[in-house]
Amino acid sequence: MTTEKPAVQRVLLKLSGEALMGDDAYGINRETILRMANEVAEVSKLGVEVAVVIGGGNIFRGMAGGAAGMDRATADYMGMLATVMNSLALADTMNNIGLTARVMSAISIEQVVEPYVRPKALQYLEEGKVVVFAAGTGNPFFTTDTAAALRGAEIGAQLVLKATKVDGVYTADPKKDPSATRYDKLTFDEAIAKNLGIMDATAFALCRDQKLPIKVFSIFKPGALKRVVMGEDEGTLVYI
Ligand SMILES: Nc1ncnc2c1ncn2[C@@H]1O[C@H](COP(=O)(O)OP(=O)(O)O)[C@@H](O)[C@H]1O
Ligand SMILES: O=c1ccn([C@@H]2O[C@H](COP(=O)(O)OP(=O)(O)O)[C@@H](O)[C@H]2O)c(=O)[nH]1
């Protein structure tokens, strides 16, 4: 039996919407969502309280809609609705594998999901339920990364975990510049000053002001989430 203890007690996990596609062209890949749910179950069983924010890029991205001539705010609301679909799918998958998950939405669609109410979210977390925050911040012109920073600060998470398509923060976008190298850790000021595109500046600034560190790691690497919550060397830490 292992006596290892998690390094954190409460976390906010940001899951990439785009990664949900798996190898499909769009939408939700069954195998990928199940794998994500299982990874969350693994850390939840360790006693870590997990809240999740999931993106919507696999279904709709406001920027793209805006670029195609659509009113940007309208396109962003469509993006937020996309995150609601992903949140429902994720919570459903979690419930199927024995977790108890609750979805809370930042925009009111009460027939579909309950509204975000902070004390209720805290109660669920204390009860060991996984809370999935849907509809981002509820405001256009923001991203789900910023929603993750905001909700992370609100629930008093010790760490924001950004599970994304790359295994950490690089000196430049590794998808565009193959010579880019990965940081083990860097400060918020460095990340903002160097305009590192892994997260938007609003999310970085919010976390910096709240002294809420962010760990960036790969969603495709099996066991990475557990390694992060156990405090093992994985991904990149962005700290104050
Ligand atoms: N300095 C950087 N370090 C790492 N990744 C970067 C960097 N700059 C840009 N990126 C890109 O950011 C992407 C992750 O951000 P984003 O598209 O918002 O992901 P997500 O869908 O996970 O929210 C990566 O796939 C990577 O190509
Ligand atoms: O607070 C928010 C969060 C999200 N969105 C919209 O929802 C889309 C999907 O979220 P995001 O791009 O952050 O998802 P991911 O990158 O994880 O796929 C965004 O492009 C925005 O259009 C928004 O308007 N406000």
Residue 99 lies in a domain: yes
Q: Please give the pLDDT value at position 66.
A: 80
Nearest CA to 11 out of 215, 164, 219, 206 is that of 215
**Residue 108 sits in a domain of what CATH number?**
3.40.1160.10
Half-sphere exposure of 99 (CA within 13 A, CB side): 32
| 77 labelled binding-site residue | no
User: Taking all residues of the chain, what is their mean pLDDT, rounded to a whole number?
Assistant: 96
Q: Please give the pLDDT value at position 3.
A: 67
Lowest-pLDDT choice from 12-21, 58-67, 83-92, 104-113: 58-67
Residue 75 lies in a domain: yes
Let me know how many helices (H) and strands (E) the chain has, helices first: 8, 9
**Ligand 2 centroid to 3 CA: how many Å?**
39
pLDDT one-digit tens code per residue, 208-232 = 999 999 999 999 999 999 999 999 9
ipTM score of complex: 0.94
Q: Which ligand is nearest to the CA of 174?
A: 1
Q: What share of the chain is helix, strand, coil (3-state, %, to 5)?
A: 40, 20, 45
Pocket test for ligand 2, best of 15, 139, 144 (most atoms within 8 A of CB): 144
pLDDT one-digit tens code per residue, 158-201 = 999 999 999 999 999 999 999 999 999 999 999 999 999 999 99
Which residues make beta-bridge pairs with 186?
238
Residue 1 lies in a domain: no
pLDDT one-digit tens code per residue, 1-47 = 556 899 999 999 999 999 999 999 889 999 999 999 999 999 999 99
pLDDT one-digit tens code per residue, 46-70 = 999 999 999 999 999 888 888 889 9
**Ligand 2 centroid to 32 CA: how many Å?**
20
Q: Please give the pLDDT value at position 33.
A: 96
Quote the number of domains for the chain. 1
Residue 4 lies in a domain: no
> What pTM was computed for the model?
0.96
Residue 164 lies in a domain: yes
Domain that holds residue 92: 10-239
Residue 91 pLDDT greater than 70, yes or no: yes
